[in-house]
Structures are given as C-alpha cells and as structure tokens.
Amino acid sequence: MTLKGFLQVFGIIAVVMTLIPLIAADFWWIRIFDYLHIQLTLLTLAALAAYFIRFDMKRAEDYIFMIVLLACFLFQVVKIYPYFPHKNYEVGEVSEENFSNKFSLYTANVLQENENPDLVIADIKIQNPDVLFFTETNTRWKDDLAEIAASYPYKLEVPLENTYGMLFYSRLELKDPQIRYLVDDSIPSVHSVLKLRSGKEIMFHGIHPTPPMPQHNPSSTDRDTEMMKIAFMVRDAEIPVVVAGDFNDVAWSSTTALFQNVAGLLNTRIGRGFYNTFDANSSIMRWSLDHVFVTEEFRVANFKLGSKIDSDHFPLYIELNLEPEKASEQKPEPATEDQIKRAREQIEKQEKKAREDAQEKE
C-alpha cells in the first residue's frame, strides 16, 4: 500500500472512530471509543500534516478527503479543548484562603494487586491531606495503611477482595457516614457529611463504578446508572457537595456530561490541564478517569497529580476552599427537562435489567 493510500485508510478509520461514541448505546465496544479522543486528535493532526505536505492537491477527491479529515480533527479538538491549561477555569481559583473553610483531598486507586504500600504512604506524608479516599482496597491494604489511618480519627472502611473495596479517612469530623450499594450488592460507594474547621458542613460522595469491559461487564449500564443516582442525590442536597473517585469514565464522555449537568456540578479539571490518571504505566495511552466534581460554592487552591505509587493510576490531590458568597459567579446552567428525563431513563433501564436477572436466578 502506498503512503497516500495508507493515509486515506487511516482517515476513514479516524472518522469512524470519532463518530462511534455518538451512538446512543452502552455496549463496551462503543463506549471504549470515548476514551481515545486525545490520541485520536494527535493522530488525525499527523495524518493531515503528512497528507498536506507530501501530496499535491490536484483532484476533487483530495480536497474532499482533507475537508472531512479537518472536520474530524476540529470536532475532536472541540471535545477536549476545555481540558487544555488555558486557565478559563470552570471552578475558579481561591480568592481569599480561609483556613477554617479550606481542606485537602487525596484520592487514589491503589491497584489491589499492588504490593508496595510504602510508596502510597510516602506520597501521603508529602501531601499531608485532610481527607483520604482509596479504591481497590482489600483487607491487606487496610492493614498496610494502618500507620496512616492512625493519624485520621474519622474513618469508613469497606475492604473487599473484588477490586471494589474502599477506605475513607478524615481529620474532619464525619457526620452520618454511610456505605451504600447503589447498583450492585458488591459495588460500594461512600457518603458522608464533612464538618469543616469553621463548623460549616459539606457532603462527600466517593464512587468507583464498574467499567464497561467484555470479560466482566459488557455494557456501561451499571456505571452510568450509579453516576445518575449520585447526580440526583446532589440535586437534592441542601449543602455544598464534593463527588470524587475513580469514575472509570473520561470527563468528555456523554455519560459524564449528563451526570454533571443533571447534578449541577462543576469540573475542577477544566482549564487546568488533562492531569491524566490512567494508565500510569503507559506514556501514550493515558486518560483522566479519576475526578473531583464540586458544586459552585467551592474554589480551587491547588490541583495536581500525586507521585507514582506502583498502581495503574496516579493519585489526585486537590485543595478546596469553601466560598459560598462567590457561588453566583460560577453557577452552572440548570439541567434541561430532556437531560433529567435521560438520566431517569438510564436508572429505570438498569433497574429493569436487575429485576430480569433476579427472575432468571430464581
């Protein structure tokens, strides 16, 4: 195959890969293409440049090919542009740091099979966060992190051997802490009111929904449903809210966008950079799967990745300041009726599937 033919075939593949995520279906082989926008954007740009530099534009087919590929590239850029470090933040920077209203959060998927907890412990000692939220933690991890846990008087622990265990430690008082199973009785989530040093209260939701994977969960239904249920919890909240964890989804996917819109949340990553957390073992195939979403009362004082901890995820560290008096400056647009309807339909779809599965087992 000639170089020109190769580039044309690649161009067709790039267009198809760009359009596939627009299909409203939750099959894993469709949803997986949500992840690839960064890599696909760079490859499409390379193909455009190579085609333009290497070949003369003499035929109508060449112009059509270039226009289609350029449209594909622009679509991809628009999709991921909000996550460039352009400083047009969705969650503004802290204006006046108030120690009593400020707290730090460290969230990390430690990788259950990771047998090097010393790296996690060392990174926590460097960051010295107020709140810790770990996913993929079993009993061994709970024991390994006992040294760190000892300096956090409030805790919520649900170690599991299925890679969905959670450990939640806090120096801030927890009020009504709960472990809930929103979609599956083996997939927990953490929920608690946090009392800041000022005495003001905020709500924390920690999640780690299942990813769409052919060998375990061939659709994204469970993941999407858990996110929608959290979205409605946030809508009903009467105090500021933080939602954090390993979402197993990228920020620019239709599911995460719907979750954010219905919940009325802001993405702390927008305007600051990609801060890709997964895969920590690859320099090329990386995506932002770990997130911190907040309501409009918060401002960001610091946002960064933690050190490499021998997990397939990088930890995420953020410092937030509660500034409710400035909330109106970054209040998100309210969800539309159609968005709320789609979120409810997603929940109903999963609940119907769960009932059918239960009947089959009887």
pLDDT surpasses 60 at 293: yes
- Buried b vs exposed e over 336-360: b needs ≥16 C-beta within 10 Å? eeebbebbeebbebbeeeeeeeeee
Note the pLDDT of residue 16.
Answer: 80
Of 231-240, 278-287, 297-306, the poorest mean pLDDT is in 278-287
Q: What angle do CA 111, 112, 113 make, to 5 degrees?
A: 95
In this structure, is residue 343 part of a structural domain?
A: no
Name which of 262, 266, 283, 265 is nearest 345 in CA terms. 262
Backbone phi and psi for residue 87, each to the nearest 5 degrees, phi listed first = 65, 15
Domain count, the chain: 2
Q: Which of 8-22, 59-73, 84-98, 266-280 has the highest mean pLDDT?
A: 266-280
pLDDT surpasses 70 at 257: yes
Average pLDDT over residues 164-169: 98
Residue 328's CATH number: 3.60.10.10
In this structure, is residue 360 part of a structural domain?
A: no
In this structure, is residue 347 part of a structural domain?
A: no
In this structure, is residue 249 part of a structural domain?
A: yes
**262 shares its domain with 317:** yes
Note the pLDDT of residue 243.
Answer: 98
Parent domain of 261: 99-338
Of 2-11, 25-34, 279-288, the poorest mean pLDDT is in 25-34
- Confidence class for position 1, pLDDT limits 50, 70, 90: low
The mean pLDDT of the chain is 91
Average pLDDT over residues 146-158: 97
For 27, which DSSP code?
A: B
**329 shares its domain with 280:** yes
**32 shares its domain with 105:** no
**111 shares its domain with 8:** no
pLDDT surpasses 70 at 322: yes
**67 shares its domain with 105:** no
**56 shares its domain with 166:** no
Q: Note if the bond before 144 is cis, omega within 30 degrees.
A: no
**150 shares its domain with 246:** yes
Please state, in angstroms and rounded to a whole number, the distance separating the CA atoms of residues 206 and 282: 26
In this structure, is residue 167 part of a structural domain?
A: yes
Q: Is 28 exposed, middle or buried (0-12, 13-18, 19+ CB in 10 A)?
A: middle
The DSSP annotation for 177-234 comes to EEEE-SS-TT--EEEEEEE-TTS-EEEEEEE-PPP-BTTTBSBSHHHHHHHHHHHHHH
pLDDT digits (tens, 9 = 90+) for 93-147: 998 777 899 999 999 999 999 999 999 999 999 999 999 999 999 999 999 999 9
Q: Which residue has the tokens 């628009």?
A: 78
In this structure, is residue 281 part of a structural domain?
A: yes
Question: Strand 316-322 relative to strand 290-294: parallel, antiparallel, unpaired?
Answer: unpaired
pLDDT surpasses 90 at 214: no
**155 shares its domain with 249:** yes
pLDDT surpasses 90 at 299: yes
pLDDT surpasses 90 at 66: no
Note the pLDDT of residue 194.
Answer: 98
pLDDT surpasses 60 at 61: yes
pLDDT surpasses 60 at 28: no
Question: Is-contact 328 127, C-beta < 8 A?
Answer: no
**124 shares its domain with 267:** yes
Helix axes 337-361, 221-236, angle to 10 degrees: 130
In this structure, is residue 78 part of a structural domain?
A: yes
In this structure, is residue 346 part of a structural domain?
A: no
Question: Is-contact 145 119, C-beta < 8 A?
Answer: no
Average pLDDT over residues 80-89: 95
Read off the pTM: 0.92
